[in-house]
């Protein structure tokens, strides 16, 4: 994506030296337009789609609407360390979706490096459920 499509890497999660766990890439000035996350699950390739929300209030309205339709939240709301955006995740029709708000804009520069999953996931101290490791 960097070499052919001119994406820039905003952040890299490397849980051990030489191990690429995830990379967040941008084709705009948003922190990320695409994230690539490794999975040990054979045949699985999608962790989630993200839906851009206007604000935390918009995210709350969407979560209330999900509740009205009986769709449980998998995890959230919270704020990610990587990207610093607000998040809430849920599953519908076999795929995970993220409600995402407050995605920051970034300037060109060297990618940020992360090796601590809890801090990368949320500086608020939230941890995802075991199900969050699964993809579709
Ligand atoms: Fe996301």
What does the pLDDT look like over 63-109, one tens digit per residue?
999 999 999 999 999 999 999 999 999 999 999 999 999 999 999 99
Using alpha carbons, select from 103, 135, 134, 124 the residue that is nearest to residue 33: 103
Higher local confidence (pLDDT), 39 or 73: 73
Q: How far is CA 25 from CA 16, 76, 110, in A?
A: 20, 23, 12
Give the distance (Å) from ligand 1 centre to CA of residue 49: 7
Give the distance (Å) from ligand 1 centre to CA of residue 88: 9
Q: How far is CA 47 from CA 9, 15, 63, 68, in A?
A: 19, 18, 19, 25
Give the distance (Å) from ligand 1 centre to CA of residue 36: 10
**What pLDDT, on a 0 to 100 scale, did the predictor assign at position 4?**
97
Give the distance (Å) from ligand 1 centre to CA of residue 135: 13
pLDDT at residue 136 is higher than 90: yes
The pLDDT mean for the chain works out to 96
pLDDT at residue 40 is higher than 90: no
The domain of 103 spans 2-133
CATH code of the domain containing 67:
3.10.180.10
**Count of domains observed in the chain:** 1
Give the distance (Å) from ligand 1 centre to CA of residue 68: 23
* pTM across the whole model: 0.94
Give the distance (Å) from ligand 1 centre to CA of residue 130: 17
Instruction: Express as a percent the part of the chain with pLDDT over 90.
Output: 99
Instruction: Express as a percent the part of the chain with pLDDT over 70.
Output: 100
């Amino acid at each position: 994506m960097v070499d052919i499509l001119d994406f820039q890497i905003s952040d890299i999660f490397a849980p051990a030296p030489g191990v690429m766990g995830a990379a967040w890439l941008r084709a705009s000035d948003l922190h990320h337009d695409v994230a690539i996350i490794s999975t040990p699950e054979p045949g699985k390739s999608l962790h989630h789609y993200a839906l851009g929300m206007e604000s935390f209030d918009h995210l709350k309205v969407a979560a209330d609407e999900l509740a009205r339709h009986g769709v449980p939240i998998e995890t959230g709301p919270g704020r990610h360390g990587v990207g610093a955006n607000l998040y809430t995740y849920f599953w519908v029709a076999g795929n995970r979706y993220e409600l995402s708000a407050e995605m920051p804009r970034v300037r060109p520069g060297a990618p940020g490096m992360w090796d601590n999953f809890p801090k990368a996931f949320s500086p608020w101290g939230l941890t995802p459920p075991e199900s969050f490791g699964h993809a579709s």
